[in-house]
Amino acid sequence: MVSPSSATSPSEATSAAGTAGTVLITGTTSGVGLNAVKALVQRGWTVVTANRDPVRAAEAATALGIPSERLHHLRMDLGDLESVRVGVETLVASLGFGLDALVINAAVYKPRLKEPERSPQGYELSMATNHLGHFLLIQLLLPDLQRSQHPSRRVVILGTVTANSKELGGKIPIPAPADLGDLSGFKAGFKAPIAMANGKPFKPGKAYKDSKLCNMIT
């Protein structure tokens, strides 16, 4: 978790979460993201969702019985840096109120790929979506978050045990633990034919783990 405010204790954070505010959550069409939307709306928060398909996000929220009065659905493809920039511009122009929290949740996981998929900017898609797009999003929204007076203002980044090579999930598929190496792939520009942060041959499961490791050290 990256917080633009001073640290709060767990009890203070729990209490502050009950104070209504405005949060942007990425990846809310299912799972953790969708249920986070429901939990925060129930606590009085205004929630902005950011997804490739905002219609699908709205339908998922309706299906879960989430009231729409405090919901705003924003189109944003985290795998496309230009889409992130346009999404933030749209948010700033239309929101009309400040942002108090940001939840980084969206991710892609494609362990069966034989060849890397690429983002519009030419980066390997797992790293582009799970880390690069989110890193840019944080940088663009951080000034607004720093202006917030909410007692629980923060950036929350969802992690995964698969980024930890000491956990079972981090060891499978073997042998591909998360390992950024010397970042030679990044240093060389991270575009074709390069698809891994360490510059080594493409491994789809490891590409995901590497992206989540980058999340952890953001």
Distance in angstroms (rounded) separating the CA atoms of residues 40 and 17: 8
**Can you give the pLDDT at residue 5?**
39
- Global confidence as pTM: 0.87
Average pLDDT, the chain: 88
Distance in angstroms (rounded) separating the CA atoms of residues 141 and 154: 11
Model confidence at 17: pLDDT above 60:
no
Structure tokens at 107: 């991710």
pLDDT band of residue 123 (cuts 50, 70, 90) is very high
pLDDT band of residue 201 (cuts 50, 70, 90) is very high
The whole-number average pLDDT for the span 10-25 is 67
**Can you give the pLDDT at residue 200?**
96
Q: How far is residue 167 CA from its own chain's centroid?
A: 22
Pairing label, strands 22-26, 71-75: unpaired
Sign of CA dihedral 89, 102, 32, 68: negative
The whole-number average pLDDT for the span 193-217 is 94
CA 169 → CA 4, 131, 177, 203, 210, distances in Å?
A: 31, 19, 9, 16, 13
The whole-number average pLDDT for the span 1-6 is 34
**Can you give the pLDDT at residue 11?**
40
Preceding amide of 173 cis, omega within 30: yes
What 8-state DSSP symbol labels residue 2? B
Output the CA torsion 31→211→101→6 (10° steps). Answer: 130
Q: Which residue segments constitute the domains of the chain, with CATH numbers given?
A: 10-161 (3.40.50.720)
Q: What is the pLDDT of residues 65-88, one digit of tens each?
A: 999 999 999 999 999 999 999 999
Structure tokens at 40: 């925060």
The whole-number average pLDDT for the span 58-64 is 97
Q: How far is residue 201 CA from its own chain's centroid?
A: 26
State whether residue 103 is helix, strand or coil. strand
CA 104 → CA 51, 88, 172, 176, distances in Å?
A: 12, 14, 24, 24
Model confidence at 128: pLDDT above 70:
yes
Model confidence at 29: pLDDT above 70:
yes
The whole-number average pLDDT for the span 128-152 is 96
Residues counted in the chain: 218
The mean-pLDDT minimum among 138-142, 156-160, 209-213 falls in 156-160
**Can you give the pLDDT at residue 10?**
37
Output the CA torsion 208→58→133→20 (10° steps). Answer: -110
The whole-number average pLDDT for the span 128-135 is 98
pLDDT band of residue 4 (cuts 50, 70, 90) is very low
pLDDT band of residue 96 (cuts 50, 70, 90) is confident
What b/e string do you get for 143-152 counting C-beta neighbours within 10 Å, with b at 16 or more?
ebbeebebbb
